[in-house]
Chains A and B, each alone.
Chain A
Amino acid sequence: GPKVLQIPSHQIIDMGQMVTLNCDPVSNHLYFYWYKQILGQQMEFLVNFYNGKVMEKSKLFKDQFSVERPDGSYFTLKIQPTALEDSAVYFCASSADWVSYEQYFGPGTRLTVL
Chain B
Amino acid sequence: GEKVEQHESTLSVREGDSAVINCTYTDTASSYFPWYKQEAGKGLHFVIDIRSNVDRKQSQRLIVLLDKKAKRFSLHITATQPEDSAIYFCAAPNTGYQNFYFGKGTSLTVIP
Contact = CB atoms under 8 A, between A and B. Distances in A.
Interface of A: 1, 4, 6, 31, 33, 35, 41-45, 48, 55-56, 58, 91, 93, 98, 101-108
A105 to B, nearest CB: 4
A104 B36 CA distance: 10
Contact of B98 (A1, A58, A101): A101
A42 B46 contact: no
A56 B98 contact: yes
Contact of B105 (A42, A45, A48, A91): A42
B88 interface: no
Interface residues on B, range: 20 to 34
B112 interface: no
B104 A48 contact: no
A1 B7 CA distance: 30
B42 interface: yes
Interface of B: 4, 6, 32, 34, 36, 41-46, 49, 89, 93-94, 97-105
B46 A104 contact: yes
Contacts, number: 55
A54 B106 CA distance: 31
B88 to A, nearest CB: 12
A91 B105 CA distance: 15
Contact of A91 (B6, B43, B94, B103): B43
B44 A105 contact: yes
Nearest to B31: A101
Given A101-B34, A105-B36, A43 B102 contact: yes
A107 B98 contact: no
